[in-house]
Amino acid sequence: MASAIEKIKQLREETAAGMMDVKRALDESDGDLEGARRVLKERGQAIAAKKSSRAATEGLVESYIHFNGRIGVLIEVNCETDFVARTPEFKEFARNVAMHVASTDPLTVAPEDIAEEAMSEERSVFEKQAAEMGKPENVTNQIVEGRMNKWVAERALLTQEYVKEPDITIGELLQNTIQRVGENVVIRRFVRFSL
């Protein structure tokens, strides 16, 4: 019995899920920690998807100045209530995203926000590079599309790999934060300054 209590405690600390949710996940996975983590992650994503439709009008503006004083970021992160905006988890999320923006210099928050001008400019560069390879047209088109998809993923904040944990994206970090704080969270906008 003590091992079951230990597992519940460990999963609660890792996932910030409620005790009954953790207990149900452990029951469904026959006491397997990895299986319970998967169950909790799936449920958390479903809950986060439901919450993403709710209005997020509170929040905070976080700033980050890099240690050399040559790079600075202001970022607006919104949530549903002022109470959540004052929690350490929410503030830490905003700070981490601001540091990430300072490090990676994304163009926009979401891929669909990238300007059509920038997209067509990059596409023409990739088309020229692919044409120089001398491949058949269908292969050239696949190369261009693959490079465009990669470029968009690298230039939009939500699809970038998180610098502190490269195995997740900022979008996944956002979903994890929504699960942890229990409210819809939105990265509204950011500006990055550099000398």
Spatial CB neighbours of 139, under 8 Å, sequence gap ≥ 6: none
Cβ of 105: how many Cβ atoms within 10 Å? Answer: 14
Nearest of 89, 90, 81 to residue 57 by alpha carbon: 81
Radius of gyration of the chain from Cα atoms? 21
Nearest of 120, 96, 117 to residue 190 by alpha carbon: 96
Nearest of 187, 165, 184 to residue 54 by alpha carbon: 184
Q: What is the pLDDT of residue 8?
A: 74
Show pLDDT as tens, one digit a residue, over the chain (195 residues). Answer: 447 777 777 766 666 666 677 777 777 877 777 887 777 677 665 555 555 556 677 899 999 998 889 999 999 999 988 899 999 999 999 999 999 999 999 999 999 999 999 999 999 999 888 888 888 888 888 988 999 999 999 999 999 999 999 999 999 999 889 888 888 899 999 999 998
2-51 CATH: 1.10.8.10
Residues in the chain: 195
Which residue, chain included where needed, has tokens 């299986």?
35
Burial label for 82, CB within 10 Å (0-12, 13-18, 19+), is exposed
Report the predicted TM-score, pTM, of the whole model to 2 decimal places: 0.71
Going from the C-alpha of 124 to that of each of 82, 112, 143, 149, 186, the distances in angstroms are 46, 19, 12, 14, 33
Domain boundaries, the chain: 2-51, 58-109+156-194, 115-155
Q: What is the pLDDT of residue 130?
A: 85
* The domains spanning 58-109+156-194 and 115-155 adopt the same CATH topology: no
Q: What is the pLDDT of residue 60?
A: 94
Q: Which CATH entry fits the domain spanning 58-109+156-194: 3.30.479.20, 3.30.300.180, 3.40.50.620, 3.40.640.10?
A: 3.30.479.20
**For 161, which DSSP code?**
B
Q: What is the pLDDT of residue 47?
A: 55
Distance, in Å, from the CA atom of 165 to the CA atom of 41, rounded to the nearest integer, reads 17
115-155 CATH: 1.10.286
Q: What is the pLDDT of residue 15?
A: 66
